[in-house]
Amino acid sequence: MTLYEGLAIDGQRIDAGGGEITSICNPATGDVIAEVASATANDIDQAVSVAADRFQSWRRTSPRERGEVLRRIADLIRRDGPIRYADLIGGRQNIILQHIGEDDDAGWYAFDLIRPGQPDECQLEWIADDLLFRDPCDGTELPGIGTGQPGYPVEIENGRISIDFRGPADVGAAGDGADEPRE
């Protein structure tokens, strides 16, 4: 189980005003998968205010500048490997955002980091030299685009990355549905 301490507001971790913790449960099993700080109304007001301010700045950002941000993210993934993050709202842990290839507007994939039926401790490991993932529990190897994993559509528009978490895409091929990375 993961404990997320504090709230992330304006790029910083801050203590929740009420100091309470909420359990996040897997709806299929009822198991507690994470514990998170409970935001108060004041915490939410602060977060919304900061987000509104940042949005005003971002909306004035030109598509060219947004594209530069996208290129920096793609460069970081090429250098350091895929980005992991938790989707606490959907109850899934460790979603991967991956970019393969040199075209910053193509080759984006998002998929679950744990193979279907595997326990939480079997999170896929990134093997950078081979551009693949390996399941540490049984040694199964998967292509770097997550083929075979529940995937989520990724759209790139005007330097903005959007991942649709409403439900897994074609389980046979993660990301944009391609079976092979685009070069």
Query: What confidence tens digit (pLDDT) does each residue in 81-98 have?
Result: 888 776 555 555 578 888
Domain containing 48 equals: 2-59
pTM exceeds cut of 0.75: no
CA distance 22 to 52: 26
pLDDT digits (tens, 9 = 90+) for 149-165: 888 888 888 777 888 87
**Whether residue 53 is found in the same domain as residue 69:** no
**Whether residue 96 is found in the same domain as residue 31:** no
Nearest to 124 by CA among 182, 181, 174: 174
Would residue 170 count as lying in a domain?
no
Contacts of 53 (CB under 8 A, 6+ apart): none
Nearest to 116 by CA among 170, 171, 34: 171
**Whether residue 154 is found in the same domain as residue 75:** yes
**Whether residue 52 is found in the same domain as residue 72:** no
Would residue 20 count as lying in a domain?
yes
Would residue 26 count as lying in a domain?
yes
**Whether residue 83 is found in the same domain as residue 142:** yes
Would residue 183 count as lying in a domain?
no
Report the number of distinct structural domains present in the chain.
Answer: 2
**Whether residue 77 is found in the same domain as residue 40:** no
**Whether residue 43 is found in the same domain as residue 92:** no
CATH of the domain at 153: 2.102.10.10
In this prediction, residue 13 carries a pLDDT of 79
**Whether residue 95 is found in the same domain as residue 142:** yes
Would residue 175 count as lying in a domain?
no
In this prediction, residue 167 carries a pLDDT of 65
Contact 134, 140 (CB under 8 A): yes
**Whether residue 43 is found in the same domain as residue 70:** no
- Residue 27 is classified by DSSP as T
Would residue 18 count as lying in a domain?
yes
Would residue 151 count as lying in a domain?
yes
**Whether residue 153 is found in the same domain as residue 140:** yes
Query: Burial code of 82-109, b = ≥16 C-beta within 10 A, e = fewer?
Result: beeebeeeeebbebbbbbbeeebebbbb
Place of tokens 């993050």: 85
**Whether residue 24 is found in the same domain as residue 108:** no
Would residue 179 count as lying in a domain?
no
Establish how many alpha carbons lie within 13 A of residue 58's alpha carbon, considering only the half-sphere containing its beta carbon: 12
Q: Per residue of the chain (183 residues), what is the pLDDT tens digit?
A: 566 667 878 878 788 888 888 887 766 777 777 777 888 889 889 989 998 888 888 888 888 888 888 888 888 887 778 887 765 555 555 788 888 888 888 888 888 888 888 887 888 888 888 888 999 999 999 998 888 888 888 888 877 788 887 766 653 443 443 434 333
**Whether residue 49 is found in the same domain as residue 120:** no
